[in-house]
Each structure stands twice: as structure tokens, then as C-alpha cells.
Amino acid sequence: MFTEVLKKLDKNKKTIIATVIEGKNQGWRCMISDGERVYENFETDSDFGNQIIEEAGEINKTGLVEYEDQRVYYEMLGDRPGLVVCGGGHVGVAIVNLAKLLGISVTVIDDRPLFANNARAAKADLVICDSFDRALEQIEGGPDTYFVIATRGHRYDKICLEAILEKNYAYVGMMGSRSRIRLLKGVLKEQGVPQKKLDELHAPIGLSINSETPEEIAVSIFGEIIQIKNTKRNTEGFSDEIIEGIERPGRKLLATIITRKGSAPRQVGTKMLIMPDGTTVGTIGGGCVESDMMQHAFRMLRADKPKSKLVRANMTNQDTEDEGMVCGGIEDVFLEILE
């Protein structure tokens, strides 16, 4: 089953899902992980299938590719961003509060029970109250994991940074003065840490916005994280909530943004699952566009033999202005029936 394969994927491997959006093989889906075909929803022409797998090896970003009479959507799978905060002080708690607002899963590490409890009270998804080195042994890391080092002292910064630089990550940022950071980098370089790793460190952490309060510092940190996250060439893939919805019995519809032009509100790869009773999982941007897609979905869900289709949403005309939408742009959304 598609979702079972998704759940077992190694997130550190390059995984691409190829879906035929239009053409004679419409609806054919193949998942390729590290060059190996790990899922196919139905058999197709072997030459075409082999061509898709070969092409997937050259794909380096999510996008749509045209092959004569067929259009194939290649989605480079990422994961939902995960944030790990080393330090549960005032800034750590402010980061948790903002992460919850942004819908980002956040783990907080602190060896002091009082500060760990403060992070729990702020609704961190996971709190590890242990020494930083032992706690970080429990964190796997990955290409969509963002690390923030905000401990109470230089020696703890060093412990965290040494452990994190051994992992796979999307971002590492560290609080501290420029002199303190320069000193720590020098020590780590003498210990044999590659210069490339040290150059990747965002320190002092955050965008330069003259932030002062813990809340302002948290905003500057997330500004930098979002800036990096939104330039990645993969998508956030299938969230746990979307997977759970797909696994529910009965017919449902998956809406996925395939292309995006202008100032459309959501990124390519964003997904929304629509159930026959009108309930949804996820969002593709809200407003009149989402409402229009839901109307398409209801008609398709009620049809005897529904076919998946590509629908264009144009947010540049007068109608969207009248609806009070401040964004413009054009999105192509693939509406796919799932049984």
C-alpha cells in the first residue's frame, strides 16, 4: 500500500514520486528511492516506466515535465520541518510559542528540570530533560531538521555543536557574541572539524533586525529558518495527518498544487485531502480558490466513474479582488480520486 511504503522511507535518501498528470497513463504513480522503484500503483508500458525511473535520477527539484502526449509531475519528497532547541530559557520558550503558531514540530533539550517544565508548559512537542550530549544522541537529525543552540554557557554550546555537526541537518544556528563564536570555531577547527561545516553555522543566529527581547529574537531566528526552508527544492511530502486520512476507508480526493506562478499563497507540493462529507485535512491556501477546488471535488466524489484531472486556479482577475484576496498568481491543482 502506498502509505505503508511512505511510512517506511529512509528520510535521508533521495526519494521521488512520479505521477502522470495528463496523458494515456494518467494516474500512474511510481515511487523511486535512491534509484530503486519501491512502489507502483499499476503496471504500465515497460519502456515508459523505465524512462521515468531513469529521468528521476536526474531530477533535482520538484516540478512538471512534458513527454510528447504526457505530463509527469516529479515530487522530491522532503519531510515536515522539525526544530530542535538546545536550551529551555526565555528565548527557548519564545521559540516554542512561535513554532506552535507556525505549525512546526519542536523538541526542547535542557538538563534543568525547571526549564524543561517551562518548555512543556509552552506545549513543546517533545522535551528531553537530560545532559545535552546524551539528549542529542536521541535526535536522529535529517535534511529537514533545524537546530537552534541557545544554551546558558560556552561549554554547553560546544557540546551541542560538536554533536550536531556529526548529524544530517538543514540548518544550525547558535546564539552568542561574535568573539565567543569566533573562539569556539577556532577550537573546533583545531579538533579537526571541517571548515565547510563551520561555514554552514549561522552565528550569530537569526536575521539582523536589531532584536532585543526573547520574542523578537525568536522572530529573527524563524525569519532565517523560513528563508532557508522556502528555498529548498523538495516538498514537505505527505504529513502524518494526510497519510492517516488516506488510510481511512472509502473514497476521498487528494488536491495537490502542481505548478505555481506569481504570488500564489502556497508552495508547489502543498496538499489537501477532501472527504465526501466536506471535512478536509490540510489546506492549499484557503479563500475562494480552495472553495472552488472543493466544489470540483464534490462533483468528482459523487460521480459513478470519476477521473482525476488538472484544474487551473487563476487569482489575478477581478473576482479574486472582490473576494478580498490580497494575493494573485496562478496555480495548477491536480485533483486525484483515491479509493
- Report the percentage of the chain scoring pLDDT > 70: 95
CA angle in degrees (0–180, nearest 5) for 218-219-220: 90
- At residue 265, the pLDDT reads 65
Question: Alpha-carbon distance 253 to 270, whole Å?
Answer: 14
How confident is the model at residue 24, as a pLDDT? 84
Over residues 275-298, the pLDDT tens digits come to 999 999 999 887 777 888 999 999
pLDDT score of 202 more than 90: yes
* Cβ–Cβ under 8 Å, residues 22 and 70: yes
- The alpha helices in the chain, defined as continuous H runs, are 2-8, 46-56, 90-102, 113-121, 132-137, 154-164, 178-190, 195-200, 214-229, 240-246, 287-302, 318-322
The three-class DSSP label of residue 74 is: strand
What pLDDT sits at residue 264? Answer: 65
CATH class given for the domain over 82-229: alpha beta
Q: Degrees (nearest 5) of the Cα angle 118, 122, 126? A: 85
Beta strands at 29-33 and 15-22: parallel, antiparallel or unpaired: antiparallel
Please give the pLDDT value at position 306: 87
pTM above 0.85, yes or no: no
Residue 150, pLDDT > 60, answer yes
Q: Which residue has the higher pLDDT, 15 or 1?
A: 15
pLDDT tens, position by position, 309-326: 999 888 765 454 554 444
pLDDT of residue 318: 45
- C-alpha span between 198 and 26 (Å, rounded): 47
Percent of the chain residues topping a pLDDT of 90: 64
**pLDDT, mean of residues 192-202:** 93
Asked whether the bond before 276 is cis by omega within 30 degrees of 0, the reply is: no
| Domain extents in the chain | 1-78, 82-229, 238-339
Distances (CA, A) of 302 to 251, 277, 288, 312: 10, 11, 21, 21
Cell 500500500, residue?
1
Give the pLDDT of residue 263: 65
Between CA 18 and CA 29, with CA 266 as vertex, the angle to 5 degrees is 15
The set of cell numbers assigned to 29 is: 504513480
What is the 8-class DSSP label of residue 266? S
Rounded mean pLDDT of 155-172?
95
